[in-house]
Structure 1
Amino acid sequence: MSSTATRATTADPIYHQPMAERPVYATGMLLDAQDFLDEQTYHRGRLARALAFVAGGGTLAGLRVVHQPSVEASEGGPGEDDDVAARPEEIRVEAGLALDRLGRLIELPRAACLRVARWFEAERARNGGDGLLQAAYTTPERFLSARAVAEAAMPGAVPVPARAVVADVLLRFVACPRGLSPAFAAGPFDALNAVSVSRLRDAHELHLVPRAGLDDDFNGLPLRAGATTLPGETEAEALAREAAMDNPAANADERRAALQDAVLHGYARSDDGAPEPGPEHAVGVDPSAVFIARVLIPVDASDASVRNGDAVLVDNFARRFLPGAGLLSRWNGL
């Protein structure tokens, strides 16, 4: 488990995207731990910076999100399968690999789960359930991807509920201390058995975040790659320009110009280097976290703090996908 300190955004120097400075060594130079940390930060930072701009934050492989209903315990009878253990209702994130918005790799080597009932009860207890009330919407299909809406209309599929709490699944990079090694005691101590953390494992945190403030003009989903508004350009003009990149039948010169503009205006860096929140980041959410799915949790028509028992709908298709070169070649018929 990571500590509160290692889960803080400031725990990783990459978070503020430090300027590229390489340690320089000389024979006879005195070195301390900070020199070796700076060496790691330089190489990690250059790799993360390259990945952030070459690919951007999103899903590289796996990380499919599914809803698993609760299962009651049962005993297997004669000629039947073994006993079935009870299982609570869960949002399950399958193993996979993602890039966060800073270019850091986040890997789930095995599936991870979020317990829906526990999360719902915690949200209902927080501020009198205001978060659930503000994140509950009628006609919530407005906030789903087109593919999720189409699949929900198919026979046997989980339908779009009439009213639901809209919540997003986000994946966040954290470092977990692993292992202790003997070390000289630091500070005003006189210890003969002092130890220090000897390894940091690149790990993850999963968050299920209720989404308030959505409407027909703001769906809170990640922006598409290259989304930007040029100086002096209206939002409508920006959308029309970007649409040319999505349309293979559009004028070749217009598509080329849209791509060039996206590159020329694609560099962004805040004063302190920290990432700016995207539309997918609610207030208080780490802006480096990567969005992987949206879920609709059905609630009572008159009381958003009461579940109505229908299945949770999961939208896996509103995220940003980062297919590898081999997949892109095949998709283009090469």
Structure 2
Amino acid sequence: MSTATQSTTVDPIAQQPLAERPVYATGMLLDAQDFLDEQTYHRGRLARALAFVAGGGTLAGLRVGHEPAVSAEEADEDNPARPEEIRVEAGLAVDRLGRLIELPRAACLRVARWFDAERARNGGDGLVQAAYTTPERFLSARALAEAAMPDAVPVPPRAVVADVFLRFIACPRGLTPAFAAGPFDALNAVSVSRLRDAYELHLMARPGLDDDYTGLPAPAGAATLSDETEAEALAREAAMGNPAADLDERRAALQDAVLQGYARREDGTLAPGPEHPTGVDPSAVFVARVLIPVDAGDAAVRSGSGVLVDNFGRRFLPGAGVLARWNGL
């Protein structure tokens, strides 16, 4: 998690405001809200563009890995002592509201601390509900293939499934003298002078998964049409992701995805995606799935096998140059 303190001011972009630009005239009296509205207009237009042109997902970096604990006895100059960690490398993402989230350096989540906190919460019910046999059902195809390779971390027979989320926050930076606000009479009042676009990392246990609901992000362009059967919907979704499918079918699927692609609630709030469990900010970006092995008889007891990380269930947003090269251009 970022170490800066989160601003208590709600980001106006979270309400997906309608585009409204301040208009100025000579002699007009301005206050702080006018300048905030100016920022909100430009930030909001950029966020809407990124949300629909790219969508929420990973732009660059943010590979997630597992770092085993190193005891003081095992430590040396090249491998210092550390607790067991889930490590997220530096990178850049777009959240589901279109805001950029940047990790300028690697960040870590301590596994033992998280596991102990979950075990203490509600008697460990969260761990019990998030522990599954045959957890390979909830992994991406690439993660399964890599787990089958020699010397790789295998899929455990029973594991707690947890997901790593990246969330946008604003952190106050610096104070400057300002007039006191409210019913105060102070000559030394100060106000925050900068807000830094920052981040939070969360590791969330995932109860309620089954063969029909993996809890992973929906594919880009996934849409529901009111006049089609389930079989027709499956065929249309298959055509979207199959370059060898009939060209007319793929074109129709693409057109339907665009025509059904606009979504905005009247109150401006954001609907959660299939990857968002209760209590997670619906704007947060899913970045990885983690399998933490546990004993067959007790979900609150860790087993000795290694933690498996699946980096490939997320949504990838390749840059134009990378995508052009991938297409042979």
TM-score category by the smaller chain?
A: over 0.9
Query: Is 1:187 aligned with 2:186?
Result: no
**Paired residues for 1:267-306 under 5 Å:** 267-306=262-301
- Extract structure 1 runs of 4+ deviating beyond 6 A: none
**Counterpart AA for 1:219:** T
* TM-superposed deviation, 1:83: 8.0
Match of 2:65 in 1: 66
Aligned partners of 1:73 and 1:84 also within 8 Å:
no
Match of 1:146 in 2: 141
* TM-superposed deviation, 1:273: 1.3
- Structure 2 CA distance for partners of 1:265 and 1:148, relative to 1, 3 Å: same
Match of 1:14 in 2: 13
Match of 2:307 in 1: 312
Aligned partners of 2:7 and 2:172 also within 8 Å:
no
- State the aligned residue count: 326
The gaps in structure 2 that reach 5 residues or longer are none
- Structure 2 CA distance for partners of 1:226 and 1:152, relative to 1, 3 Å: same
Match of 2:22 in 1: 23
* TM-superposed deviation, 1:90: 0.1
Match of 1:199 in 2: 194
**Paired residues for 1:1-334 under 5 Å:** 1-3=4-6, 5-6=8-9, 11-74=10-73, 82=77, 85-334=80-329
* TM-superposed deviation, 1:239: 2.1
For residues 221 and 91 of structure 1, what CA distance do their matches in structure 2 show? Answer: 19
- Structure 2 CA distance for partners of 1:82 and 1:219, relative to 1, 3 Å: closer
In the superposition, the TM-score normalised over structure 1's length comes to: 0.95
Give CA-to-partner distance per residue, 1:131-158, whole Å, 9 cap, x none. 0000000000000000000110011000
In the superposition, the TM-score normalised over structure 2's length comes to: 0.97
Aligned partners of 2:6 and 2:170 also within 8 Å:
no
SS of 2:275's equivalent? coil
SS of 2:183's equivalent? coil
* TM-superposed deviation, 1:271: 1.9
* TM-superposed deviation, 1:75: 7.9
SS of 1:5's equivalent? coil
**Counterpart AA for 2:143:** A
- Structure 2 CA distance for partners of 1:316 and 1:75, relative to 1, 3 Å: closer
**Counterpart AA for 1:112:** A
The gaps in structure 1 that reach 5 residues or longer are none
Give CA-to-partner distance per residue, 1:190-246, whole Å, 9 cap, x none. 111110000000000000000010000000000000101111223332121011121
* TM-superposed deviation, 1:74: 3.5
- Structure 2 CA distance for partners of 1:191 and 1:103, relative to 1, 3 Å: same
For residues 6 and 224 of structure 2, what CA distance do their matches in structure 1 show? Answer: 40
Aligned partners of 1:229 and 1:235 also within 8 Å:
no
**Counterpart AA for 1:35:** D
For residues 23 and 65 of structure 1, what CA distance do their matches in structure 2 show? Answer: 42
For residues 232 and 48 of structure 1, what CA distance do their matches in structure 2 show? Answer: 32
Of all paired residues, the percent bearing the same amino acid is 82
**Counterpart AA for 1:68:** E
